[in-house]
Amino acid sequence: MSQSNDIEFVKIPVVEKERPLAVRLFNYSFWTTLIVLLLSFIFIDDQKNMLGKLSIFIIILLVVWGFMIKNPFKIIGHIIFKDNKIQFISDENTITFNVNELKEIKFEYEGYKGRVRILPLTLDSGLGNKLYFKSFDVEYNFELFLENHHVLLLRKIIRNWNANYNIS
């Protein structure tokens, strides 16, 4: 948080997800393996239960592989939330939006980086947080990479917007 004349702002990275070969291979192999194993349980008579043992081994191997794959993304710019405006800054351009001119503002909160999920083995990546709004009949959407300190500041700014700008 930065303060200058009582104006608070928060600068949040705007990201774009990438799908590298390792992620695509994992998705294809995981779903293909599950379908093949399900069909083999239905159609193959396994007297010694070798198919069941092999299935458990393959599923455990795929789950471990899934935990090791990172969810890659690249930062395409930053979005700055201030008391009365939103500013998107990228290498190519800078766009400023006045909050009172925005329509249909929606914020989908998925979690911040490092937040513990229901399963204690996994942490949130900070991805999947989306901001949508319309400005002069043009729709904008941004995927935000949130960290712990962003959440509290963003909540404070949105609360201020609700009080001052009649935003629903």
> Which positions ≥6 away from 143 have C-beta within 8 Å?
14, 15, 16, 17, 127, 128, 129, 130
Tell me: the pLDDT tens digits for 7-35?
A: 477 777 777 776 667 777 777 888 888 78
The whole model's pTM is what? 0.55
Single-letter amino acid code for the residue at 26 = F
Confidence of residue 165 (pLDDT cuts 50, 70, 90): low
| C-alpha to C-alpha distance for 30 and 103, rounded to whole angstroms | 42
| Cβ 46 vs Cβ 37: under 8 Å | no
Confidence of residue 128 (pLDDT cuts 50, 70, 90): confident
pLDDT at position 112 is 58
Q: Alpha-carbon Rg of the chain, whole angstroms?
A: 22
Q: The tokens of 91 are what? A: 């290498």
Does residue 77 come out as left (phi exceeding 0), alpha (psi in the -120 to 50 range) or beta?
Answer: left
Answer CATH for 2-17+74-165 from 1.10.10.410, 3.40.50.720, 2.30.29.30, 3.30.565.10 = 2.30.29.30
> In terms of Cα–Cα distance, which of 24, 11, 27 is closest to 142?
11
**What is the number of other CB atoms lying within 10 angstroms of the CB of residue 79?**
20
pLDDT at 167 over 50: yes
Summarize pLDDT for 36-89 with one digit per residue, the tens.
Answer: 877 777 777 766 777 777 777 887 887 777 777 766 777 778 888 877 788 887
Alpha-carbon span 80 to 86, nearest angstrom: 6
Tell me the domain boundaries of the chain.
Answer: 2-17+74-165, 21-68
